[in-house]
Amino acid sequence: ASDFGDMSEAISMGSAAAGGGRAVHAGGEKSPDYTHGRNNMEYITIASTGNTTDAGDLTLGRSEGPAGAGNGTRAIWAGGYASGYNGTMDYNAILSTGNASDFGDLNNDPGLGSGSGSLTRFLHSGGYDSGAIDVIDYVAFDTTGNASDFGDLQDGTRSNAGGISTEARIINSSGGTI
């Protein structure tokens, strides 16, 4: 690995989405005060090295997420912690530099969930609120509205898991069981 560049500040527990040669990072917590969620979105051009550039703001600053994923064109950011766990979903065009817009809400209020996306659907899996969450929610990328129930995780609840998907399958790996 080689040094690629730097974010605007030290951040943990945010998430990223990519498409069209750009990667966008959103949300997370700023060190050393982990109680205040960030609303910043920052992007890099994948084909060149360099530091991040401001891409706009989420509708709500969130730590412990939000979980994010994209379909190559649009990114969705869901869940997280902002004075309590919440199910807010935002979206933005990956190649734009402008603020995110409200997409709808998840079926629960999770932080520490995982996001993954195919060309058509965004899936949010697991997480934590005042208790364990084993729910998988989905939305179609090309619409806006509240999430629908997709099913439950097989091995119970997961927080801080990694998610990836293809058109045919979603995979959640690792994470903590609660």
Tens digit of each residue's pLDDT (9 = 90 or more) over 84-128: 899 999 999 999 999 999 999 999 998 888 899 989 999 998 888
Any residues with CB less than 8 A from the CB of 161 and at least 6 apart, and which?
113, 114, 125, 126, 172, 173, 174, 175
Amino acid type, 51 = N
Residue 178 has pLDDT above 60, yes or no: no
Amino acid type, 41 = M
Give dist(CA 138, CA 150) in Å, integer: 6
pTM exceeding the 0.85 threshold for the entire prediction = yes
The candidate with the shortest Cα–Cα distance to 89, out of 43, 28, 137, 132, is 137
Amino acid type, 111 = G
